[in-house]
Amino acid sequence: MSDCPPFQEPMILDASVLIDFVKADRSILKLVVKNVGSLYVVDAVLGEVNQINHENELVEIGVRVIEPDMKDVDEASQMSGPTSFQDHLCYLTARRIGYVCVTNDRNLRRLCMENHVTICWGLELLIKLHKAGGISTERSIELVELIHHNNPRHINIKLVNRFKQAIGDSRSDES
């Protein structure tokens, strides 16, 4: 968990990270914006997030919803491979504007790395928030455990334990 740059840069969220945070506690995104950096999401991604009924729900907590550039839409529609159209838009937007791409999706991460787009794991946002003093150790652990509970396939117990170590908590489970 060390890909995320230590400085504040604008970040674009993919659906996987947005879903994890919105299901756990969407207000945490407001704290990330306040303490870590600006958050953006491409409007095409919102269709993948059942927990969001209207983009205003994100705007209220400080996440900026942006429309993709038409050149990015054209390029994304031409791209193939295991990455979705929406993930291609996240990558292309991050590349064009210089955003950090925040994703847990391995295919999107690979695409970004191959093309020198800075990436960050979703849980790294919580680590940065904790280190900035925006959230307590206890609340960080509650959130990561809830995210794990909601998404055990992608946020497994090994990641939970690595997260606890990263924030300096010694209560990692060995199960």
Tokens of 172: 């990692």
H or E element that contains 27 = helix 27-35
Mean pLDDT computed over 169-175? 53
Task: Give the three-class secondary structure for 38.
Answer: coil
pLDDT for the residue 4: 58
Percent helix, strand, coil in the chain, to 5, is 55, 10, 35
Mean pLDDT computed over 128-154? 95
On the question of pLDDT at 7 being above 60, the answer is no
Task: Give the residue extent of every domain in the chain.
Answer: 11-134
- The C-alpha atoms of residue 71 and residue 92 are separated, in whole angstroms, by 9
36 C-beta neighbours (distance < 10 Å), count? 24
pLDDT for the residue 175: 43
Select 11-134's CATH number: 3.40.50.10860, 3.40.140.10, 3.40.50.1010, 3.40.50.700: 3.40.50.1010
CA-based nearest residue to 100, from 84, 85, 116, 114: 116
168: pLDDT confidence band, cut at 50, 70 and 90? confident
pLDDT tens for each residue of 94-133: 999 999 999 999 999 999 999 999 999 999 999 999 999 9
Are 26 and 146 in contact by the 8 Å Cβ rule? The answer is no
CA distances from 136 to 33, 58, 74, 96, 130 (A): 16, 23, 43, 35, 6
Looking at per-residue pLDDT, the higher value among 9 and 138 belongs to 138
pLDDT tens for each residue of 52-102: 989 999 999 999 999 999 999 999 999 998 999 999 999 999 999 999 999
Q: State residue 39 phi and psi, 5-degree precision.
A: -115, 135
174: pLDDT confidence band, cut at 50, 70 and 90? very low
- 1-15, 23-37, 141-155: range with lowest mean pLDDT: 1-15
